Amino acid sequence: MLSERMLKALNEQLNKELFSAYFYFGIAAYFKDMGFDGFARWMEAQAEEELGHALRIYDYIFDRGGKVELDKIEKPKQTFESPLKAFEAVYLHEVGVTQSIFKLVELAQEEKDHATYQFLQWFVEEQVEEEASTKAIVDKLKIIGDHPQGLFMLDRELGARAPKLRALLTQKSE
């Protein structure tokens, strides 16, 4: 059974993960409008990943006998000065998510909720990966600057990470 404090914090994180998906879809729309389909595909794949994170928390709350409380999702930013500024926003967003996960871990320790502490370890590892991958893209964009060839090469590289949900939804049943 989850304590009231832990349940409230997990529900808050669930809603943050749902916002994260919305946040990435907003940036994907920005990149699609700019003609950077590869950057857009990367953002769409990231949005799907964030939905997966939300589902993990959603299921965990129910597994522990809690009640899911969904909240409204604020409108994300959809315009940026450049691809670099968009990815800097992504990196800063992930740093914020990491801090939020760390606070959950601290609360689980404080509450002596060993099951939740163990559950959250996956998210801690995931955030290390999220920060590293987004920081690497920011670093590449700083090197590329405003050079169109470099931007289109990185766009093509990031486009290799394809979202999967759309393909699943459009599959025809046999």
Give percent above pLDDT 90 in the chain: 91
What is the structure's pLDDT at 127? 96
> Do the domain assignments include residue 173?
no
Q: How confident is the model at residue 174 (pLDDT cuts 50, 70, 90)?
A: low
Overall domain count for the chain: 1
> Do the domain assignments include residue 174?
no
- Number of helices (H) and strands (E), helices first, in the chain? 6, 0
Give percent above pLDDT 70 in the chain: 98
User: What is the DSSP code string of 91-125?
Assistant: HHHHHHHHHHHHHHHHHHHHTT-HHHHHHHHHHHH
Q: How confident is the model at residue 170 (pLDDT cuts 50, 70, 90)?
A: confident
Query: Model confidence over 17-60: pLDDT tens digits?
Result: 999 999 999 999 999 999 999 999 999 999 999 999 999 999 99
CA-CA-CA-CA torsion sign (158, 90, 29, 140): negative
Q: Distance from CA of residue 80 to its chain's centroid?
A: 18
Give the global pTM.
0.92
Q: What is the mean pLDDT of residues 157-169?
A: 84
CATH code, domain with 57: 1.20.1260.10
Poorest-pLDDT segment among 85-89, 116-120, 122-126, 168-172: 168-172
> Do the domain assignments include residue 172?
no
- The pair of structure tokens assigned to 60 is 């965990």
What is the structure's pLDDT at 165? 79
- Mean of the per-residue pLDDT values for the chain? 95
> Do the domain assignments include residue 104?
yes
- The pair of structure tokens assigned to 120 is 């959250």
What is the structure's pLDDT at 173? 63
> Do the domain assignments include residue 66?
yes
> Do the domain assignments include residue 168?
no
Query: Model confidence over 60-83: pLDDT tens digits?
Result: 999 999 999 999 999 999 999 999
> Do the domain assignments include residue 170?
no
Range of the domain at 155: 4-161
